[in-house]
Amino acid sequence: MAKYDQKVSAPVFDPPKQATPKHSEHKPASPLSPVAGVRQGAANAAENIQRHLPYFPALPFPHFGDDAKPSPSAAAPIEGAAKAAAKIAEAIGPKTVSTGPLPTADANEGAEKGAAKIGASLGVQTGVKSQEISRGAASTELGGVLSGKDLMCRRFPDEDLLSEGPRDPKADAEVTHAKEVRDQLVTQMAEMKDVTPEQQAMILERTQGLTGDALVAEMKFLENALKTPNADRALNAYADLSTMIAENPEAAERLTPDMMGMLVTGVANPRTDSDRGQAGVLGGKQVRDAAEALLTMSQSDYDKLSDALGNAGKDDKGKAVAGADAAAEQALVLKALAARKELLLDHEPGPDGLSKADLAMEELTGFAKDIRGEKRADLIRTTTALDIDDTNTNTTNPTTLDKPGEDTKTDNDGLFQRFTTTCGPTTAQMVAAEYDPIYARRLHDEGFNNADPTTATSRQQQETLENNGGNAVSRLGNKATTAANTGLNAAEASNSITHDERMAVERYLYYRSNPKPEDLAAINASLEKVRAENGGHPTEAEVNAIRYNAGKDNKTGEGMYLPPALNAIASDAANDDFSQLGVNYNDMADRLKDGQPVPIRNESWGGHFMMVSDVRGEGKDQKFLVSDPWTGATRWMTAAQMKNGDFDDVFGIPAGGITTMYGDKEFEANS
């Protein structure tokens, strides 16, 4: 009996099939890299980038000193501010001048104290210089805080405040309403156990100092936040921002009420109508990182970003696009900003003359342009790797890859692992995508239903696994063996192919033979006959995937530890180093409420990685939103199911208790 060819060659695979990127300006480096690969993506439009941006002062906050170039209105001298204070006080009248704890300065006691009082009346902290006042109160360019149609009202621009003409009754009504909201806020906040007493005090301090225009603006986004399922998380973020301003009043220069509105609304507004989409685009962590980036980026970059945010939800003519959601776009741009916090500080020119900051900005503005005016549902779907909607957007079930197009479930359309043991790298990809919507968009460009082991998404999974001691076996290749065998049996039984022809096909598929061209033609002819009798299977992609697996030598799907994958793929975007942590459900819940996805390991198949992205409820009603890279599904698990390891009940994978969770070991919850 003749043995199969013993002389084997190195596996020959088709060159990687790169889907044509929809967004050519975001063409990723190979393999996908959430932020480190910005260089190639930006190089295409390098001519448009302002080169050699001046180095901007480092952490924690920028100096707004002599080197800054404030606008003419912001450069008013202190003496002028004192006069303005008196005039504003007169215009606003005693009813609208804050009597809260912050403005203790007496306007009559000198120019500087007078300026402080103006600041207090317009919603900035005591001690803020005059330029903050005008920026904080009069910024009108960043609309769309609450929705595309619900732009911020500006009833009290400076010139109105300074005039002595009749007051606008509608504006008065808005101020009255804002005060009512502030009262409600105090009442509601007291009931929220996830808003700490310290945070409540900070919020009270901030809001009691608001009057007029700033009061209306901030109460508008806080009123919206209070109506959402994320009210407590939004208030956490608002407290964090308020703290940043209180600790460094110069921060108000950039953390304007508009900017705060975008950030807080990004936390508050649920991503989708599904109960799996309750969390906002942003979490508290992303808000802090975005705010820090806003404060440390160069003025030029800040201005570019502000322009991009101002154009959200609008067409080229500045008209609001129906179906778009400016607030969601703004939140996503700010989320992408948070993921590039560190890059924006690096102004060292690279070999091509572009700094990392240049390239990061190019990505950010390109992304903002790319998503501008996009339908909300598509926008949300393509900026996460999780299935958080109730629509069936992917008819491929990762567990039945041999039956594409037949899946009808609406909760399993997320990113899935392309290989049998790449749950780790895939979990890391999910985490990176939760932190960086630009990266998520790249994953979507290749198609979430694309199980081809040679795509960039697949290659990142494979290389991350194999660089860390694992071995990647294609799931498509595994599934396709059944279809291939069924087809070969049918074709041989019907005498469409001879047994020798079958053996030649099997040598090609399972023994990685490298046939001569004429032999390959014969093999392909046999495969065509097999497909004719077997519903088109094995397809060309399936043949490639089977051969891919045959090229793995004598290895099976070996796994890896998770931290190396997280730190290779997600660490930059998260601005964190990931470590192995003990399982603590309170700690897990705190992280989730802060917007940090929490990877976990359970004992399915001897060890399986998954990701938790949200938590709701308390005590026995507490539930966790878990995403499984094996099935592509995102589903709620009760606390009891989590603790019992009932993953079989929820995901149909082997049961197994949770052994480990992962995250930044430095994290300390507010509570």
Partner 1 sequence: MTSPSVLAAPEKTPNWVSFSQSAPYLPPEFLPSSQKAVASLPLPTRKKAEALLEELTRQTQNPAQLGHVKDLLTQSLPGFAPKDHHMSGPHPHRAAVERAIILVLHGLVYRLAGQIPSAKKPDETAQTFLRTLNALPLFEFDQASKVRLHIEAREAMGHTFYLGLVTAHPDLNP
Strand bridging mode 579-581 / 633-638: unpaired
The token duo for 419 is 């290989």
* Sign of the four-CA dihedral 71, 72, 78, 81: negative
SS (H, E, C) 314-365: ECCCCCECCCCCHHHHHHHHHHHHHHCCCHHHCCCCCCCCCCHHHHHHHHHH
**For residues 558 and 587, which CB has a smaller minimum distance to partner 1 in the complex?**
558
Does residue 522 bind partner 1 (CB under 8 A)?
no
Instruction: Map the footprint of partner 1 across residues 561-590, applying CB under 8 A.
Output: 561-562, 580
Does residue 496 bind partner 1 (CB under 8 A)?
no
**For residues 150 and 587, which CB has a smaller minimum distance to partner 1 in the complex?**
587
| Span from 159-167, 234-242, 298-306, 491-499 in contact with partner 1 (CB under 8 A) | 491-499
Among 196, 300, 392, 481, binds partner 1 (CB under 8 A): 481
Instruction: Map the footprint of partner 1 across residues 538-557, applying CB under 8 A.
Output: 546, 549-550, 553-557
| Span from 42-50, 103-111, 374-382, 467-475 in contact with partner 1 (CB under 8 A) | 467-475
Instruction: Map the footprint of partner 1 across residues 64-93, applying CB under 8 A.
Output: none
Write the CA distances from 457 to 364, 429, 568, 608, integer angstroms: 21, 9, 14, 19
Closest approach, Cβ 230 to partner 1, in A, equals 32
Q: Sheet containing 658-663: which strands, arranged edge to edge?
A: 579-581, 658-663, 598-602, 608-616, 623-628, 633-638
**For residues 434 and 492, which CB has a smaller minimum distance to partner 1 in the complex?**
492
Instruction: Map the footprint of partner 1 across residues 590-649, applying CB under 8 A.
Output: 601, 603, 605-609
In angstroms, rounded to a whole number, what is the distance separating the alpha carbons of residues 597 and 459? 23
Does residue 421 bind partner 1 (CB under 8 A)?
yes
Phi-psi region of 62 (alpha: psi -120 to 50; beta: other; left: phi over 0): beta
Cβ–Cβ under 8 Å, residues 669 and 612: no
437, containing H or E segment = helix 437-445
DSSP designation for 386: S
In angstroms, rounded to a whole number, what is the distance separating the alpha carbons of residues 40 and 623? 42
**For residues 369 and 555, which CB has a smaller minimum distance to partner 1 in the complex?**
555
* Sign of the four-CA dihedral 430, 435, 439, 440: positive
Does residue 485 bind partner 1 (CB under 8 A)?
yes
Q: Is 635 helix (H, G, I), strand (E, B) or coil?
A: strand
Among 477, 597, 645, 663, binds partner 1 (CB under 8 A): 477
Q: Is 612 helix (H, G, I), strand (E, B) or coil?
A: strand
**For residues 24 and 482, which CB has a smaller minimum distance to partner 1 in the complex?**
482
Site string for partner 1, 306-345 (x = CB under 8 A): ----------------------------------------
Does residue 510 bind partner 1 (CB under 8 A)?
yes
Among 23, 442, 479, 537, binds partner 1 (CB under 8 A): 479
Does residue 407 bind partner 1 (CB under 8 A)?
no
Q: Which residues bind partner 1 (CB under 8 A)?
A: 1-4, 6, 8, 420-421, 423-424, 469-470, 473, 477-479, 481-482, 485-486, 489-490, 492-493, 499, 506, 510-511, 546, 549-550, 553-562, 580, 601, 603, 605-609, 659-660
